[in-house]
Amino acid sequence: MRTVVITGGGSGIGRAAARLSAAAGDRVAVLDRVVRRDDPWLSMETDVSDEQAVDDAFERINAELGVPQGLFAAAGVDLGGPSDQLPAERWRAVLDVNLTGAFLASRALLRGVLAAELPGAIVLCSSPAARVGFAAGGGAAYAASKGGVSSLVSSLAVDYARDGVRVNAIVPGATETALMWAAVPEPERERMRGVVEQEVPLGRLAAPDEPARAAVWLLSDAASYCTGTELLCDGGVLAKASISV
């Protein structure tokens, strides 16, 4: 039985991963800004962009559940806008959560497993936006943060492979979560859902548990020879050309 930490586990893909990990017998700890006190795992209100808060959370996890050997860093925000109008504060807020938050959680896990001489597995959450610009526009901060996540995966994977720590990422596509629709006004969401379904090769949005299963697999011993890779679970979005001829 392992201890697995999931950031952003209060909703969406992170919450689905928490359920799957708990069902597999893992001791689960969830870090999120909003948590549910009745969840059957250790839940802590934590801002992952806050260095001290992350370190304190891992210290508590170590004490109550044992040294974490798995991390799924799913916490993310998307505060978009045209780059010529994007305040630097908003830019920093996106990178602080999506990229710095992933780094801080990864660092905390690494410190624990290295000190205890244990193997570990880290899964970060990248995005198709790390590779291509989204047609809706206004996603520079989000894209930059996810590009950084993808690069962080490669670097950490090489740095800690000989220590028995694997580092990978999932690349979810359009998934039915609150974050997916955060920038879309409520009256427009049904119409936009239909548009997105037409654009995704598989013809639908993912349920949160679909990319979550990919993350949980990468954390498991079944993926024991996978490190430094990105597992696409995007419904074929990145395989599709943007023109129709």
Amino acid at position 111, single letter: R
Domains and their CATH numbers in the chain:
3-232 (3.40.50.720)
Residue 53 and residue 47 in contact, taking contact as beta carbons nearer than 8 Å: yes
What pLDDT was estimated at residue 181?
Answer: 79
Residues counted in the chain: 245
The DSSP H or E segment spanning 6 is: strand 3-7
Which of the following is catalytic: 72, 91, 142, 160?
Answer: 142
What pLDDT was estimated at residue 184?
Answer: 78
> Rounded to whole angstroms, how far apart are CA atoms 207 and 151?
27
What pLDDT was estimated at residue 30?
Answer: 98
SS3 content of the chain, % helix, strand, coil (to 5): 50, 15, 35
> Rounded to whole angstroms, how far apart are CA atoms 226 and 245?
36
Whether 160 is catalytic: no
pLDDT tens by residue, the chain, 245 residues: 899 999 999 999 999 999 999 999 999 999 999 998 899 999 999 999 999 999 999 999 999 999 999 999 999 999 888 999 999 999 999 999 999 999 999 999 999 999 999 999 999 999 999 999 887 788 999 999 999 999 999 999 999 999 999 999 999 999 999 888 777 788 888 898 898 899 999 999 999 999 999 999 999 999 999 999 999 999 999 999 887 77
Phi-psi group of 239: left, alpha or beta (phi > 0 → left; psi -120 to 50 → alpha; rest → beta): alpha
> Rounded to whole angstroms, how far apart are CA atoms 105 and 197?
34
> Rounded to whole angstroms, how far apart are CA atoms 15 and 74?
9
